[in-house]
Structure 1
Amino acid sequence: MQNLKSTLTLFLSFFALITYAQEVTVLDADTGVPIDNIAIFNKDQSKSTITNVNGKSDLDAFARNEKITFKHISYEPYTTTKAQIYRRGNRVYLHLKTEELEEVVMSVSKWEQQKKHIPQKIETIDARNIAFANPQTSADLLQNSGKVFVQKSQLGGGSPMIRGFATNRILLSVDGVRMNNAIFRGGNLQNVISIDPFSIKKTEVTFGPGSVIYGSDAIGGVMNFYTQKPRFSFADSLVFSGKLDYRFASANNENTAHVDINIGKQDWASYTSFTFNHFDDLKMGEHGPESYLRNNYVVRENGEDVLITNNDPKKQVGSGYDQINFLQKFTYRPNSTWNYDLGLYYSETSNFPRYDRLIRPGRDGTGLRSAEWYYGPQKWFMGNFQITQKGKNKFYDGIKLTTAYQFFEESRHDRDFQGLELYSTEEKVDAVSVNLDFENKKIGDLHLYYGAEYVFNKVHSNGSMRNIETEATEETASRYPDGSTWQTLAGYVNGEYQLKPNFTLLSGVRYSQVWVDASFSNTHYSFPFDEADIVTGALTGSLGLSWFPRSDWQVTLNGSTGFRAPNIDDIGKIFDSEPGSVVVPNPDLEPEYAYNGELGLRKNFNDVLVLKGAAYYTYLVDALVRRNFTFNGETEIEYNGEPSNVQAIQNAAKAYVYGFEFGVEAFFNENLSLNSNLTLTEGIEEDDDGTDSPSRHAAPTFGDVHLIWQNQKLKADIFLNYNGEVSNDDLALSEQSKTYMYASDANGNPYSPSWYTLNFRSQYQITNALKATMSLENMTNQRYRMYSSGIAAPGTNLVLGIGYVF
């Protein structure tokens, strides 16, 4: 009996111990790194403790259901109970305060730097804000920031515009690897949708040239997407965690499902992410230009193309598509010095229609020109292996070797109304890159960053024509010269010198050598040349300063150059650029150069009101633009059975782009805040003959205003989005011919009207593990199109989301 009592006492003591004795680990929500000196206390502060250097603290003093607050000067306070902490595996994740001044960015040097020392404008979108905005794609993620303009030719797309530049003049980077390849074109791109917003940890958008670090293409800016990293366990045991998400949107009956799983030990960790998207045809708004309505569409019945009246003209028939995204990451950390990271990325869409081509009127001005016009599956794969070493060395304090292989696949398919020939082109690109980057912090107040890069692209391209009745197929001209290559070798050095505690200089220089090689087949066209063999180099540099005349004032001044070397799309493409025109190859091209100046101001009024502004001017010389051309002495040739005006990419213009950017942040109290952005851009292209015209990629004036209320459980945002008008006189010449995409002004000429939307967004933390979001976009049901876009934006759109963390 005595033994039974002793056993029972021991059992109850052990039960009490595991129930009430509890150690918590406090981690940064974005990095997963332990946080020390976190104050932990109850409501009346009669009990308190702090975390140690490993982010750990003992909670024995607190009762099981007692409210406990975690607080730190740099993090948002968080209140929970010991019971809830136990259910979450004894881990608490804290978020950095949004107004935290010591923000770290990686875009400018590829290593961590204090944002306040950077003279360039950089905007950061973190995982918390991404989750709150709950975007459908990464293109929408950028647009929701209020600082990037996004054009859409179809629902399955999104082409960002930064400071009057777009497509192959801005650079995409994923985890330090450039995504731009040899066939990135001057026309609108949709590659950004291959990046899954659910897997993004942080996005950094650098405004202005970034060629010192990133080389060719980084003229208008750089968009760096950093995906989630596997999280280690800070205990001996294996730690398993994950997240489930579901989202629905009414405007296109979106159904999205996402799951991610993290497995971690002290020296290795794995992160897996999978997302499936289904988007139905998009429905536009009620109030706006009637010319945007989809009044009819084409179906094939009994072997003939038939023009069908659309029963719901607001439904943009032929715009829906599906997509999957997969990410697998492994990391191994044998000690505090070395880190090995492997990332495997895959994205694939279904066929997705190019909506702006499906609404073009027929050649006689009636009906529709195309029965079919769609992109085949857009596929992207990347394998990225990175080795990082940190520690004192004679020549560096940190070294990072990044090797990557990427595979891109895209195709285009079009058939005229009542035509039997379906024309197709298919492109594949193999891309290999090696980056070696060094960080050195040894020379007093001078921090050096230097490195080298090699990139190799090989393009595979073929063309075909299939008779849809007989199924007979024949080879046709490919879009690009098959087997062509583009490669670059570069070295750079970048230095950050802290002249005074309040004055920092940042300067860098890079030299890039570029080789382009393409052989042209005369099977379908009699080219006046056999090959393009371009060898060219570019020297770029930057010099900027960040000055705090007072602790609440910041002044930044930056001058930089950028360049873009011609790629395979520039020198070797054959395609129909617009009705009645065809672009032909041109092997005699040189790089285009940009010269940029920028002034920025930031004023903080007692952490209650923050005003920000920037003015910039960019001058582009030897601009690569599409202009009229001759082919074998002819100004017109036959393309896909149609007489077409000949054009080519040429170094035939200069461009002037300037603008102003304004931002306001106001913190009324700990719950209520306001932020607003306004961007004004003007751009002019001037041809060699002295004629000028508005720049195609200079976005209209755009801005937003957000009024945000939040506490620990609820966050709500009511906001206004605004776009200014682009009159007919301010439309680029290439846009004026696309009358089917624009509204008509009082004189019957195409123009892009101004528009606004009123929106509401909310997020509620139901439990520590369960979170719900609800948004009502375009509440007044406006019918509008983003400038230069072929598809109308959503009408009133209810977006619902639910997320569960385990």
Structure 2
Amino acid sequence: MQNLKPTLTLILFLLTFQFYAQEVTVLDADSGIPVDNIAIFNKDQSKTTITDANGKGDLNIFAPNERITFKHISYEPFSTTKSQIGRRGNRVYLFLKTEELQEVVMSVSKWEQQKKHIPQKIETFDARNIAFTTPKTAADLLQNSGKVFVQKSQLGGGSPMIRGFATNRILLSVDGVRMNNAIFRGGNLQNVISVDPFTIKKTEVTFGPGSVIYGSDAIGGVMNFYTQQPRFSYADSLAFSGNVNYRYSSANNENTAHVDFNFGKQKWASYSSFTYNNFDDLKMGKHGPDSYLRPNYVVQENGTDVLVANDDPKKQVSSGYDQVNFLQKFTYRPNSTWNYDLGLYYSETSDFPRYDRLIRPSKDGDGLRSAEWYYGPQKWFMGNFQITQKGKNKFYDGVKLTTAYQFFEESRHDRGFQDVELYSTQEKVDALSVNLDFENKKIGALNLYYGAEYVFNKVHSMGSMRNIETDEVEETASRYPDGSTWQTLAGYINGEYQLKPNLSLLSGIRYSQVWVDATFDTTYYPFPFDEADIVTGALTGSLGLSWFPRSDLQVTLNGSTGFRAPNIDDIGKIFDSEPGSVVVPNPDLEPEYAYNGELGIRKNFNDVVVLKGATYYTYLVDALVRRDFSFGGQTEIEYNGEPSNVQAIQNAAKAYVYGFEFGVEAYFNEHLSLNSNLTLTEGVEEDDDGTDSPSRHAAPTFGDVHLIWENQKLKADVFVNYNGEVSNDDLALSEQGKTYMYASDANGNPFSPSWYTLNFRSQYQITNALKASVSLENMTNQRYRMYSSGIAAPGTNLVLGLGYIF
């Protein structure tokens, strides 16, 4: 029995030691990679330790409830307790400092590159910044950045404008897969709202042409959304974590709920996310133009359309909608060389009204033109499978194969006031893409990135007319030629060369071949042609440098070209572009080309003030624009029962856009900082006959100023957003006719007034697991519309959020 006592004592000691012993793994929040040399210390720094090469640190010297801090020069400091770390699986995730030049970006080559070596302007927004700004949609995420202008025709929308270009002249990418499809139009697009902001790990916006890597459409810029990756476990046990979020906003009585969770083992991991949004009708501000008010709207009484007075003219009746988003990701890493990733994405809206069409006045001006005008459910599905191999090879150090299938569905439904026919068109697109991308970092000071891409789109389109009294349905003309296809095959090579430690050169070239095939149905319109069969190619390139004449001064210079090949929307659509006008097909189109030059400067004053500036000039030739057209010798045809002027997309113009972008960051002390952005854009379209007009997508001068205070638990931001005026003379000709969307100047002509808003935003970390946010937007209750927008912006808006990590 006495021999048993030492054994029992030893067992009790080992059990006690195992209970109190604790090791933490510190990981990069974006990549999930372990981080070494992280200092870990208590409040008075009497106890300190440091993480090793595997990101592991020993916490045995700290008491269970003692507050400890994790700190590194490149990361934001983080404080917690040992017991809380244990409840989180002994893992701590740190975020890179936003001002770090060492930041890694992927948009320029599809592989990781240091931002300081990139000659193009790139802005990044990480998950932490996104969570702080609490955007309702991905469109609001871009708008909140202060660097991208967003137009809205309805609440369920958001069309970004970058450097005077928009819609099908800027490219949208999700996890390396282009979302732009064959029916992306020149009019305003709302596809960006299909991306769930709760799932975004990082957003990178590249300003200027990106056609070397992304091909057609990347003229004004590229928006890359990278969603959350499943996280592996760095222990033998299963790692489980997740988030629950709720958000409410008063201006549209929004209710949003989100949940995500992660399962991880050492070789496989899974990430699941679900978000539900419910938006009621949006309420505008109190102080502003009366022409923005909604004095009346249409209802049906006893089967008849009736115009009724709006009890609250500031409430934009028929603007609300619902949306669901789902994301499921799996990743498998059998060893350090191979990685297999599968992503399944789904987004669907309810029917959502196109508000700008619902407020159009009737021809006599006494009523409203439309009784109904709404988009059917907007659906998007993507299956994305990616295989990545990294390791030494004779021809590459990394290879990535990305295969994706996407399905898009959208529809339009409109009915005139007191008409019995509801006209509908429905579009579906099947999109396949294959990308093969290589990186080679072993040719001296030269890093090569090269690859190939194939994209295939097939468009399904149909039209119908339903009598709302008899419920009889008959076929009508479709919006696009049914069964039409668009495809492209391309190859590219991009190189980064380190000329000197402070001077790097980035250059690339790409050739794209594009095929468009469409057969026209002459049942409803006597087309003077049977088909469109376009085969065209485009050669694009870029050359730029990043130079640090001093460690605190960076100068970038870049020249690049971009192109956009005609798609099915350009060559084959039939739709009413505006009251009394109809757009018809035109099979004789060629690509449009852009030539761009850009100069950027970044100056750091002792890590206290950072000034950034960029200027650019873009020249667009053979621009695809909507102009008057002759259709079978006729300049006017009947469309949906109404005589309409004939127009078509044509290579009928040149355009030039130039602008300036400024930014300042100032750090007054450890807690207080200021940042501000200012963007000025000018654009002109010049027709072949020598006439010119302002560019439709050149945004007004816009900017913001933020004063931010933060400590370990609280972050608060007082900021001003502002937009400059667009006078009647500076409105595009296509906008001057939309008097119902704009205010009237002293001469009674439409114009877009300047505006500003004063706002407050805050976030408080109640515990390591629970945080709350409170924001008050548009505190002075301004009534305003973003330029070219059909819906007024929210008035004073209280936004509440609650998030819990488990």
TM-score by length of 2: 0.99
The match for 1:95 is 95
Q: Hey, what's the Cα distance between the residues in 2 that align with 1:618 and 1:336?
A: 44
The match for 2:679 is 679
The match for 2:426 is 426
Displacement after TM superposition at 1:12 (Å)? 6.0
Q: Kindly tell me: are residues 395 and 779 of structure 1, through their superposed partners in 2, closer, same or farther at Cα, counting changes over 3 Å?
A: same
The match for 2:57 is 57
Q: Hey, what's the Cα distance between the residues in 2 that align with 1:800 and 1:14?
A: 48
Counterpart residue type for residue 408 of structure 1: F
Displacement after TM superposition at 1:35 (Å)? 1.0
Q: Hey, what's the Cα distance between the residues in 2 that align with 1:718 and 1:8?
A: 62
Displacement after TM superposition at 1:46 (Å)? 2.4
1:613 aligns with 2:596: no
Counterpart residue type for residue 323 of structure 2: Q
Counterpart residue type for residue 664 of structure 2: V
Match runs of 1:374-523 below 5 Å: 374-523=374-523
Counterpart residue type for residue 72 of structure 1: H
Q: Which moved more, 1:709-718 or 1:36-45?
A: 36-45
Q: Hey, what's the Cα distance between the residues in 2 that align with 1:484 and 1:254?
A: 39
Note the alpha carbon deviations across 1:220-239, whole angstroms, 9 max, x for none: 00000000000000111111
Displacement after TM superposition at 1:45 (Å)? 2.4
Q: Hey, what's the Cα distance between the residues in 2 that align with 1:9 and 1:762?
A: 53
Note the alpha carbon deviations across 1:484-504, whole angstroms, 9 max, x for none: 000000000001011000011
Q: Hey, what's the Cα distance between the residues in 1 that align with 2:327 and 2:481?
A: 32
Q: Which moved more, 1:94-103 or 1:552-561?
A: 94-103
Note the alpha carbon deviations across 1:27-57, whole angstroms, 9 max, x for none: 1122222111111122232222111122112
The match for 1:246 is 246
SS at match of 2:634: coil
Counterpart residue type for residue 279 of structure 1: F
Displacement after TM superposition at 1:6 (Å)? 8.1
1:786 aligns with 2:786: yes
The match for 2:257 is 257
SS at match of 1:99: coil
Displacement after TM superposition at 1:363 (Å)? 1.6
Q: Hey, what's the Cα distance between the residues in 1 that align with 2:457 and 2:674?
A: 46
Displacement after TM superposition at 1:604 (Å)? 0.4
SS at match of 2:132: helix
SS at match of 1:424: strand
1:700 aligns with 2:700: yes
Displacement after TM superposition at 1:164 (Å)? 0.2
Displacement after TM superposition at 1:13 (Å)? 4.2
Q: What count of residue pairs does the alignment treat as equivalent? A: 806
SS at match of 2:693: strand
Displacement after TM superposition at 1:2 (Å)? 7.9
Match runs of 1:304-703 below 5 Å: 304-703=304-703
The match for 2:45 is 45
1:738 aligns with 2:742: no
Q: Hey, what's the Cα distance between the residues in 2 that align with 1:3 and 1:276?
A: 65
Counterpart residue type for residue 724 of structure 2: G
Q: Kindly tell me: are residues 625 and 45 of structure 1, through their superposed partners in 2, closer, same or farther at Cα, counting changes over 3 Å?
A: same
* 1:784–1:792 Cα contact (<8 Å) kept: yes
Note the alpha carbon deviations across 1:366-422, whole angstroms, 9 max, x for none: 210000000000000000000000111111110000000000000000000000000
The match for 2:21 is 21
Q: Which moved more, 1:88-97 or 1:711-720?
A: 88-97
SS at match of 1:193: helix
The match for 1:167 is 167
Match runs of 1:200-215 below 5 Å: 200-215=200-215
Counterpart residue type for residue 758 of structure 1: L
Q: Hey, what's the Cα distance between the residues in 2 that align with 1:321 and 1:456?
A: 32
The match for 1:796 is 796
Note the alpha carbon deviations across 1:340-362, whole angstroms, 9 max, x for none: 00000000000000000000001
Query: How high is the sequence identity, in percent, across the aligned residues?
Result: 87
The match for 1:758 is 758
The match for 2:184 is 184
Q: Hey, what's the Cα distance between the residues in 2 that align with 1:6 and 1:774?
A: 59
Q: Which moved more, 1:48-57 or 1:280-289?
A: 48-57
Counterpart residue type for residue 454 of structure 2: Y
* 1:661–1:679 Cα contact (<8 Å) kept: yes
Q: Hey, what's the Cα distance between the residues in 1 that align with 2:473 and 2:117?
A: 60
SS at match of 2:213: helix
Counterpart residue type for residue 369 of structure 2: R
The match for 1:300 is 300
Displacement after TM superposition at 1:614 (Å)? 0.5
* 1:486–1:514 Cα contact (<8 Å) kept: yes
Displacement after TM superposition at 1:7 (Å)? 9.7
Q: Kindly tell me: are residues 561 and 584 of structure 1, through their superposed partners in 2, closer, same or farther at Cα, counting changes over 3 Å?
A: same
1:195 aligns with 2:206: no
Note the alpha carbon deviations across 1:726-766, whole angstroms, 9 max, x for none: 00000000000000000000000000000000000001100
Displacement after TM superposition at 1:10 (Å)? 7.0
Q: Hey, what's the Cα distance between the residues in 2 that align with 1:409 and 1:447?
A: 41
SS at match of 2:198: helix
Counterpart residue type for residue 505 of structure 1: L
Unaligned runs of 5+ in 1: none
SS at match of 1:132: helix
Displacement after TM superposition at 1:75 (Å)? 1.0
Displacement after TM superposition at 1:551 (Å)? 0.6
Displacement after TM superposition at 1:70 (Å)? 1.3
Q: Hey, what's the Cα distance between the residues in 2 that align with 1:22 and 1:64?
A: 10
Displacement after TM superposition at 1:81 (Å)? 1.6
* 1:20–1:63 Cα contact (<8 Å) kept: no
* 1:516–1:567 Cα contact (<8 Å) kept: yes
Q: Hey, what's the Cα distance between the residues in 2 that align with 1:473 and 1:53?
A: 69
Displacement after TM superposition at 1:76 (Å)? 1.4
Note the alpha carbon deviations across 1:93-140, whole angstroms, 9 max, x for none: 211112212000000000000100000000001001000001000000
Q: Hey, what's the Cα distance between the residues in 1 that align with 2:315 and 2:541?
A: 49
Q: Hey, what's the Cα distance between the residues in 1 that align with 2:77 and 2:349?
A: 41
Q: Hey, what's the Cα distance between the residues in 1 that align with 2:582 and 2:23?
A: 69
Counterpart residue type for residue 283 of structure 1: K
Q: Kindly tell me: are residues 3 and 766 of structure 1, through their superposed partners in 2, closer, same or farther at Cα, counting changes over 3 Å?
A: farther
Counterpart residue type for residue 39 of structure 1: A
SS at match of 2:700: coil
* 1:169–1:218 Cα contact (<8 Å) kept: yes
Q: Hey, what's the Cα distance between the residues in 1 that align with 2:380 and 2:79?
A: 42
Counterpart residue type for residue 802 of structure 1: L
Counterpart residue type for residue 58 of structure 1: D
Q: Hey, what's the Cα distance between the residues in 2 that align with 1:368 and 1:391?
A: 65
Displacement after TM superposition at 1:535 (Å)? 0.2
SS at match of 1:746: coil
Displacement after TM superposition at 1:87 (Å)? 1.9
1:712 aligns with 2:712: yes
Q: Hey, what's the Cα distance between the residues in 1 that align with 2:785 and 2:333?
A: 49
Displacement after TM superposition at 1:16 (Å)? 3.5
Displacement after TM superposition at 1:79 (Å)? 1.9
SS at match of 1:780: coil
Displacement after TM superposition at 1:84 (Å)? 1.7
Displacement after TM superposition at 1:82 (Å)? 1.3
Q: Hey, what's the Cα distance between the residues in 2 that align with 1:8 and 1:298?
A: 84
SS at match of 2:212: helix
Displacement after TM superposition at 1:17 (Å)? 3.0
Note the alpha carbon deviations across 1:511-536, whole angstroms, 9 max, x for none: 00000000001100000000000000
